């Protein structure tokens, strides 16, 4: 198996094959996900909740992100894994300036990431361009952006109504123009994310609670294994229950995303 690369992801998409993503925060889970056929692994700042017991992602530091990114990268290397590694730039590590974002992204790339992810649209455009021009692949993140949960007023659906949809669309198109090659859409109406996916040929949309019209899907690992300290989001499916082993659960997730049976739009069409 050849390592997953940006051309390989474009190839999958062109062939009409859905891109799969799961979060992982350590060496073992990353290697198991890779072996189960997951193409892209997100070292998400959701590790703040999942691993650190924090109330939100706001308190996650760059140092912590680098630690978990390095763990995932070592696990994949040791297992001769092929997955593409995306690491979240945590809150406060990119908001000040493009230069600050570059310094922070460098830390994550040197820890073993292949791509960094940052939340928000509009104000992030020059930051995305700055990183991409300097050779760092960027994944954007629109819709529900957990780092700004306090400003958003809670974990709720975004991009609703004509105005909300128009703004999200403007931001998404601009991010593609700036060179973002991937875009997480979180808790966005299914219709909107399907439309955006058609309008973003060079930027692969990865949905979570965003219906099944995106180029790929992502779930938080612990959620899809049925383990959650808080409230389980409605859009999650427990793949562990159906399979009984972690590797099988991950393989079932990959199959379900590829054959279009997950997510089921009728369950959470917003
Ligand atoms: O941190 C995370 O796990 C994420 C995904 C939910 C997209 O950003
Ligand atoms: Na995140």
What are the pLDDT digits (tens) for 210-266? Answer: 999 999 999 999 999 999 988 899 999 999 999 989 999 999 999 999 999 999 876
DSSP 183: E
For residue 86, the Cα-to-chain-centroid distance in whole angstroms is: 7
Query: For ligand 1, is residue 23 a contact (CB within 6 Å)?
Result: yes
The domain that holds 240 is classified in CATH as 3.20.20.60
Count how many domains the chain has.
1
Q: Is 38 helix (H, G, I), strand (E, B) or coil?
A: coil
Q: Where are the alpha helices (DSSP H) in the chain?
A: 6-14, 27-35, 47-50, 62-78, 98-110, 125-133, 149-152, 161-177, 190-199, 221-224, 239-243, 246-258
Q: Is residue 250 part of a domain?
A: yes
pLDDT for the residue 270: 53
Query: For ligand 1, is residue 208 a contact (CB within 6 Å)?
Result: yes
Domain coverage including residue 69: 6-258
Q: Is residue 44 part of a domain?
A: yes
pLDDT tens digits for range 111-136? 999 999 999 999 999 999 999 999 99
Residues, CB within 5 angstroms of ligand 2 (ion): 44-45, 88
Query: For ligand 1, is residue 44 a contact (CB within 6 Å)?
Result: yes
Q: Is residue 266 part of a domain?
A: no
pLDDT tens digits for range 8-41? 999 999 999 999 999 999 999 999 999 999 999 9
Q: Is residue 264 part of a domain?
A: no
- The percent of residues above 70 in pLDDT, for the chain, comes to 98
pLDDT for the residue 263: 96
Q: Is residue 269 part of a domain?
A: no
Residue identifier of the C-alpha nearest atom 4 of ligand 1: 44
pLDDT for the residue 1: 80
User: Has residue 156 got a pLDDT over 80?
Assistant: yes
Q: Is residue 263 part of a domain?
A: no
CB 125 within 8 A of CB 170: no
Q: Is residue 267 part of a domain?
A: no
Q: Is residue 268 part of a domain?
A: no
pLDDT for the residue 267: 55
The ipTM is 0.99
- Ligand 1 atom nearest 23 alpha carbon: 3
């Amino acid at each position: 198996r050849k390592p997953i690369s940006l051309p390989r992801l474009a190839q999958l998409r062109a062939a009409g094959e859905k891109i799969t993503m799961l979060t992982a925060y350590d060496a073992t889970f990353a290697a198991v996900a890779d072996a189960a056929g997951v193409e892209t692994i997100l070292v998400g700042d959701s590790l703040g909740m999942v691993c650190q017991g924090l109330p939100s992602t706001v308190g996650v530091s760059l140092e912590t992100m680098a630690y978990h990114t390095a763990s995932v990268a070592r696990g994949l290397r040791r297992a001769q894994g092929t997955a593409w590694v995306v690491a979240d730039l945590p809150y406060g590590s990119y908001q000040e300036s493009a230069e600050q974002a570059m310094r922070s992204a460098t830390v994550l790339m040197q820890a073993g990431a292949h791509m960094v992810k940052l939340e928000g649209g509009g104000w992030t455009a020059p930051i995305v361009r700055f990183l991409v021009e300097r050779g760092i692949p960027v994944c954007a993140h629109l819709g529900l952006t957990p780092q700004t949960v306090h400003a958003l007023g809670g974990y709720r659906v975004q991009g609703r109504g004509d105005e909300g949809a128009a703004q999200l669309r403007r931001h998404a198109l601009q991010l593609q123009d700036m060179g973002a090659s991937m875009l997480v859409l979180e808790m966005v109406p299914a219709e909107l994310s399907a439309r955006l996916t058609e309008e973003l040929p060079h930027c692969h949309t990865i949905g979570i609670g965003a219906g099944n019209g995106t180029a790929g899907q992502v779930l938080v690992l612990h959620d899809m294994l049925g383990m959650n300290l808080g409230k389980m989001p409605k859009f999650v499916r427990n793949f562990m229950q159906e399979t009984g082993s972690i590797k099988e659960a991950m393989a079932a997730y990959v199959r379900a995303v590829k054959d279009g049976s997950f997510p089921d739009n009728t369950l959470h069409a917003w």
